[in-house]
Structure 1
Amino acid sequence: MTKPEAKNQPTAPALEKGLDLLEALATESRGLTQRQLAERVGRSVGEIFRMLVALERRGYVARDPSTGEYALTLKLFRIASQHPPTERLLKSALPVMEQLAAKVQLSCHITVLHGEQFMVIARIEPEWLMGWSVKAGTVFPLSQQYPSAKVLAAFQHPGRRDELAQVIADNDHVSLRKALAALDRISAEGGNFSNDDGYTRILAYCCPIIDSTGRAVAALTVPLVRQDRIPKAEAAAIAAELRAAAATLSERIGGGGGA
């Protein structure tokens, strides 16, 4: 996990150690014991002990007393949410999401890229929840099985788009050509509105939220049950409401009006 150091650049070994621990825990849905963590980052238990104590004291990790496993708390997510661009996006998004959820009677959520993964930063549920929803703060890998991942990758500038397509190809064990073809379909449709890729069992309609440069800064998603259980007219109405909501959010952040 430790990256090679560039020559003549100052180093901060303690900080690197702490970041290694946080990155290792970020990939685990359950948690890791102190010994497992040490093995994961290529260090001894003694080397990471003090850093774990500090991270726990500051609230970045929590230890389960029954198993001894350490897991990330939501503190990093809360810090990221307070970052001005994210805060501005959420301030604009939440009222629009509430209206969307009320109109379609389904949950909706917003995701953003998080390195080579993506994260749910907000969700809204209607008073009567039909279908399923995901928790804010959840991180997922970039994969064709997630409509949000495809939309976030498809609506990037060419160089970044190719990088993310390669990540998807590696994660899904498919060719780069196939991954790019999937992103091309998403771009052409203005979002994810079909379930013909062979991956997604639970369909989710998804649209990009576009900034002034034409790049997707986030994706607005409505998870549904299987598409074949939704009347076509109802599915079309949901898609139309989602497109309108994404366009509104794109306009509010100074973008090009969405999909």
Structure 2
Amino acid sequence: MFRGDVSTLARRRNAAHDGGADEISTGEERDYTVRAVERVCSILNLLQESIDGVSLIEVGQATELPKSSAFRYLWTLEAHRYVERDPDTGLYRLGLGFVGMQSRHLEVLRERARPWLEELRDEFEETTNLGILDGDHVIYVDIVESRNKVRSAASRGDRDPLHSTALGKAIASQLPDARVRDLLERTGMPRQSDNTITSIDEYMDELAKVRRVGYAVDNGENAPDGRCIAAPLLGTHLPVALSISAPAARFTLKDVEQAAKKLLDVADQISTNPVPEQRPVVEPA
């Protein structure tokens, strides 16, 4: 609950305006809370904390509103695109009205990450990437290309599968298992190469390893001749990850192990709220 913390002068002005000068003399602090706004904040907080969405009943319970009133709040927020309702499940999620705010956050993150992407590119002489989960795919937010004539590089704005990329694995490792399974069922996990993981259970086993070692590897799974290593950016409140990608012939599994420590360290530096103490010990891929 937010309470007004105003100066004595401001409170006197308010009291004079409201005709409540006697009330100020008691020394009691006014409560400037607007109940309707509080309920809207409660609804948005509830939706933000949910990956799969929330039901009308859950919204009513969180706001202590009857079902009909909760529906009117949601309907109004939906009309302004701050909430969207899944027509199949009936669950509510945050809507596109927040995209502009998130876009600005993402742009700030991209600007913060750019020098580190360049540093990684220069140290390992390979392409570096910043990616975010967009729907059920990974979209490339920024790319710093290797200076080698033969290089592995996508283009900014390109989309790649969640299941066959190191960026996708790194991002998925930070999502609830139920959400990951839902995304994989939606895409169908098409085979990109002979090494592509096409089983949900096998992929979940892979994510368990990613969570243990702290980074993900695409070992020729998205392209037969490619190899990539990625680490999630913790503390950014966005489903984002950082990666190094290269031709497999030049970027061996031994190189991946050597690059992992540096990648994890850079990921910590980029994160808006670095938490290096939470990073696991690097193990062989």
Call closer, same or farther: CA 1:232–1:185 in 2, change over 3 Å.
closer
Quote the offset at 1:157 in angstroms.
3.5
Q: 1:245: which partner in 2?
A: 266
Partner-residue secondary structure (3-state), 2:113: helix
Does 1:220 find its partner at 2:242?
A: yes
The question of whether the paired residues in 1 share the 8 Å contact of 2:231 and 2:264 is answered with yes
Please give the alpha-carbon distance, in whole angstroms, between the structure 2 residues aligned to 1:256 and 1:148. 20
Please give the alpha-carbon distance, in whole angstroms, between the structure 2 residues aligned to 1:129 and 1:237. 23
Q: For each residue in 1:23-52, what CA deviation from the matched residue of structure 2 results, as whole angstroms up to 9, or x when unmatched?
A: xxxxxxxxxxxxxxxxxxxxxxxxxxxxxx
- 1:1-259 matches, cutoff 5 A: 83-128=103-148, 131-142=151-162, 144-167=163-186, 170-172=188-190, 174-193=198-217, 195=219, 201=224, 202-211=226-235, 217-226=239-248, 229-230=250-251, 234-250=255-271, 253-257=272-276
Please give the alpha-carbon distance, in whole angstroms, between the structure 2 residues aligned to 1:119 and 1:204. 15
Q: Computing the radius of gyration over CA atoms, which structure comes out larger, 1 or 2?
A: 2
Please give the alpha-carbon distance, in whole angstroms, between the structure 1 residues aligned to 2:256 and 2:128. 15
What is the aligned-residue RMSD (CA, Å)?
A: 3.4
> Which amino acid in 2 is paired with 1:246?
A
Structure 2: give runs of 5+ residues left out of the alignment: 1-70, 82-98, 192-197, 281-285
Please give the alpha-carbon distance, in whole angstroms, between the structure 1 residues aligned to 2:227 and 2:253. 14
TM-score, scaled to structure 2: 0.53
After the TM superposition, which of the residue ranges 118-127 and 173-182 deviates more from structure 2? 173-182
Q: For each residue in 1:120-171, what CA deviation from the matched residue of structure 2 results, as whole angstroms up to 9, or x when unmatched?
A: 01011244465221100111232x3222112211222344334334446x22
Partner-residue secondary structure (3-state), 1:171: coil
The question of whether the paired residues in 2 share the 8 Å contact of 1:152 and 1:216 is answered with no
TM-score, scaled to structure 1: 0.58
Please give the alpha-carbon distance, in whole angstroms, between the structure 1 residues aligned to 2:222 and 2:144. 25
The question of whether the paired residues in 2 share the 8 Å contact of 1:151 and 1:206 is answered with yes
Corresponding pairs, count: 181
Please give the alpha-carbon distance, in whole angstroms, between the structure 1 residues aligned to 2:254 and 2:177. 35
Quote the offset at 1:255 in angstroms.
4.2
Please give the alpha-carbon distance, in whole angstroms, between the structure 2 residues aligned to 1:176 and 1:234. 28
Structure 1: give runs of 5+ residues left out of the alignment: 1-6, 16-78
Quote the offset at 1:188 in angstroms.
2.0
> Which amino acid in 2 is paired with 1:236?
E
Call closer, same or farther: CA 1:223–1:81 in 2, change over 3 Å.
farther
Quote the sequence identity (%). Answer: 17
Q: 1:66: which partner in 2?
A: none
Partner-residue secondary structure (3-state), 1:211: coil
